[in-house]
Amino acid sequence: MPTYQYKCSSCHHSMEAFQKISDPALTLCPACQKETLRRVPTVGLGFQLNGGGWYETGYQKSCCPCGKNESCSTETPAKPASE
Ligand SMILES: [Zn+2]
């Protein structure tokens, strides 16, 4: 079960939640009880770089390295924006 990162846009409380992929996103912040909780997009969720070998072997089979097939048709994942 994947771990999702959440952050409240009202009180900036951050938390993690274990959810199924099919579960709806949480919106109620446990800290301030407002429905301002937002799911933080995580890049490369549940996959790790192992010497770069995933690129040659895994990239061809599924359309994105993380294998989740989410919005990978138009953009390439795993590109940190903080550099
Ligand atoms: Zn809050």
Distance CA 82, CA 35 (A): 28
CATH number of 3-61: 2.20.28
Q: Which pLDDT score is estimated for 41? A: 80
Give residue 37 CA to ligand 1 midpoint distance, Å. Answer: 7
Distance CA 9, CA 30 (A): 12
pLDDT (tens place) for every residue of the chain, 83 residues total: 788 999 999 999 999 999 998 999 999 999 999 999 999 987 655 555 555 544 544 444 555 566 666 555 555 666 676 76
Residues 6+ away with beta carbon under 8 Å from 24: none
Give residue 38 CA to ligand 1 midpoint distance, Å. Answer: 10
Give residue 13 CA to ligand 1 midpoint distance, Å. Answer: 5
Distance CA 12, CA 77 (A): 26
Residues 6+ away with beta carbon under 8 Å from 43: 77, 78, 79, 80
